Amino acid sequence: MDDAFSLAWRYPDEHADLLIDSLAKLNGVGRDQILLGDGSGEILKLCAEVFTGPISANRNGTAGRGTMVVAEPTFEAILNHARANGAEVSKVPLSPTFAHDLPKMAAAANEGLIYVCNPNNPTASITPKNDLRDFIAKAPQQTMLLVDEAYYHYADSPDYESVMPMVKDYRNLIVARTFSKIYGMAGLRCGYCVAQRETIERIRPYQPWDSVNIMALVAAMASLNDNDQVTKGRRLNTETKAFLTGELEAMGYKQISSQANFVMIDMKRPVVPLIQAFKERDVQVGRLFPALPNHMRLTIGKKSEMEAFLSVFRQVVA
Ligand SMILES: Cc1ncc(COP(=O)(O)O)c(C=O)c1O
For residue 51, give the nearest of 116, 115, 117 by alpha carbon.
Answer: 115
Measured from the Cα of 42, ligand 1's closest atom is 9
Side-chain-side CA neighbours of 42 within 13 Å: the count stands at 23
CB of 186 shorter than 6 A to ligand 1: yes
| Average pLDDT for runs of 10 along the chain of length 318 | 94 97 98 98 98 75 80 97 96 98 96 97 98 97 97 98 98 98 97 98 97 98 95 97 98 97 98 97 97 98 97 92
| Residue 318 CB contacts under 8 Å (≥ 6 apart), including other chains | 251
C-alpha separations of 140 from 91, 106, 145, 273 in Å? 19, 9, 10, 45
**Regarding the domain delimited by 228-316, which CATH topology (the fold level of the hierarchy) does it fall under?**
Aspartate Aminotransferase, domain 1 (3.90.1150)
pLDDT at position 49: 97
Question: Rounded to the nearest whole angstrom, what is the distance from the C-alpha of residue 278 to the centroid of ligand 1?
Answer: 24
pLDDT at residue 63, as a whole number: 61
CA 3 to chain centre: 30
d(CA 39, CA 126): 22
Task: Judge contact between 149 and 126, C-beta under 8 A.
Answer: no
Distance CA 72, CA 205 (A): 31
pLDDT, position 56? 66
Q: Is residue 39 in contact with ligand 1, taking CB distance under 6 Å?
A: yes
Q: Is 180 near ligand 1, meaning CB less than 6 Å away?
A: yes
The answer to whether the 3-225 and 228-316 domains have the same CATH topology is: no
Contact residues for 37 (Cβ-Cβ < 8 A; gap 6+):
43, 46, 190, 191, 192, 193, 207, 211, 212
Q: Output the CA 41–ligand 1 centroid distance in Å.
A: 6
Q: Does 199 contact ligand 1 (Cβ within 6 A)?
A: no
Ligand 1 close to Cβ of residue 53 (< 6 A): no
Give the nearest ligand 1 atom to 117 CA: 1
The answer to whether the CB of 184 is under 6 A from ligand 1 is no
Q: What is the pLDDT of residue 62?
A: 53
* pTM score: 0.96
Whole-number Å distance between alpha carbons of 51 and 68: 8
Cα separations (Å) of 310 from 122, 207, 278, 281, 315? 20, 43, 11, 12, 9
| Cis previous bond, 119, omega within 30 | yes
What pLDDT score was predicted for residue 192? Answer: 98
Residue with CA at minimum distance from ligand 1 atom 2: 150
Atom of ligand 1 nearest to the CA of 178: 11
Residue 60: what pLDDT? 52
Q: What is the CATH number of domain 3-225?
A: 3.40.640.10
